[in-house]
């Protein structure tokens, strides 16, 4: 399995991004990008979704703009009518993660949000043992638990409300998670994703089989650069 870190920073211009990236998107994605009204929202959407198309296109041997995507019932994207890897995208703050895997996969990244009360949320939705962990360690514990739960839900193609009570607290390295209510198809094998700063991340694959992770970083390289540069920087 591959996990790609996709930096979304723009430098000094919060709205700035390479315009050729927007040309890669399909019409639905362009429309969704135009809905971004908060500062930097459109930039982050365009860069993250263009990176997905570039990486998938490289795996499929196709131009990024020709990669056809569709969405499941709860919005999870997938390749339309063609063989290829399962994938999952998540972004928070100025960082996105993309996971590619041979079986259904979910990835999540979260940056602590101002105004969020992790203790209150954990008391309301998490199992008692996890709620106690959050009460002790605050945002750090909440981010780790939240991303594990959301990664499992994404791997199942479900919605987050179905996974808030998933018992994911006892996780060191890779761990198998099962839904005690049976409402989500599982099990999943989940592990944390090491990330810089305050970010928390996790990835989950459907099934209980172990997996290995290859971590990579995506960079935008202007199209006029020679192909050797792409290989040197690990874009492909």
According to the model, what pLDDT value does residue 131 have?
Answer: 94
Q: Tell me what pLDDT residue 52 has.
A: 96
CA 47, CA 62: separation in Å to the nearest integer? 19
Can you tell me the distance from the alpha carbon of 55 to that of 175, in angstroms, rounded to the nearest whole number?
Answer: 28
The range of the structural domain enclosing residue 27 comes to: 2-233
- Contact of 150 with 199, CB cutoff 8 Å: no
- What H or E segment, with its residue span, contains residue 190? strand 188-192
Q: Is the alpha carbon torsion for 211, 163, 48, 80 positive or negative?
A: positive
pLDDT of residue 135: 95
Q: What is the pLDDT of residue 169?
A: 85
Half-sphere exposure at residue 38, Cβ-oriented, CA atoms within 13 angstroms: 4
Q: What is the pLDDT, as a whole number, of residue 226?
A: 52
Cα 215 to Cα 23: distance, rounded to the nearest angstrom:
27
pLDDT at 228: 46
Q: How far apart are CA 163 and CA 235, in angstroms?
A: 33
Q: Which residues of the chain have pLDDT under 70?
A: 74, 82, 222-236
Report the CATH number that the domain containing residue 87 is assigned in CATH: 3.90.470.20
pLDDT of amino acid 25: 95
Number of domains comprising the chain: 1
Indicate if the alpha-carbon torsion angle 158, 161, 165, 168 is positive or negative.
positive
Task: Find residue 96's DSSP bridge partners.
Answer: 6, 91
Question: What tens digit of pLDDT does each residue of 152-200 get?
Answer: 999 998 888 888 889 998 777 899 999 988 888 889 999 999 999 999 9
Element (H, E) at 205: strand 200-206
């Amino acid at each position: 399995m591959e996990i790609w870190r996709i930096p979304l920073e723009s430098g000094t211009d919060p709205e700035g991004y390479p315009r050729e990236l927007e040309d890669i998107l399909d019409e639905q994605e362009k429309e969704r990008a135009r809905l971004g009204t908060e500062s930097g929202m459109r930039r982050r959407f365009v860069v993250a979704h263009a990176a997905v198309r570039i990486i998938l296109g490289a795996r499929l041997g196709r131009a990024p703009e020709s990669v056809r995507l569709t969405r499941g019932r709860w919005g999870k994207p997938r390749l339309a009518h063609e063989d290829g890897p399962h994938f999952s995208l998540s972004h928070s703050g100025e960082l996105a993660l993309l996971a590619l895997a041979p079986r259904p996969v979910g990835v999540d990244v979260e940056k602590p949000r101002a105004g969020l009360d992790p203790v209150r949320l954990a008391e309301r939705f998490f199992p008692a043992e996890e709620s106690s962990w959050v009460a002790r360690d605050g945002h750090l514990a909440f981010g780790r638990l939240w991303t594990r739960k959301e990664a499992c839900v994404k791997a199942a193609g479900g919605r987050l409300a179905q996974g808030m009570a998933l018992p994911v607290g006892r996780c060191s390295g890779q761990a198998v998670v099962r839904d005690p209510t049976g409402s989500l198809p599982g099990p999943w094998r989940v592990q944390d994703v090491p990330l810089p700063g305050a970010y928390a991340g996790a990835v989950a694959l459907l099934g209980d089989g172990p997996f290995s992770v290859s971590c990579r970083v995506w960079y935008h390289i202007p199209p006029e650069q020679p192909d050797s540069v792409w290989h040197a920087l690990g874009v492909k």
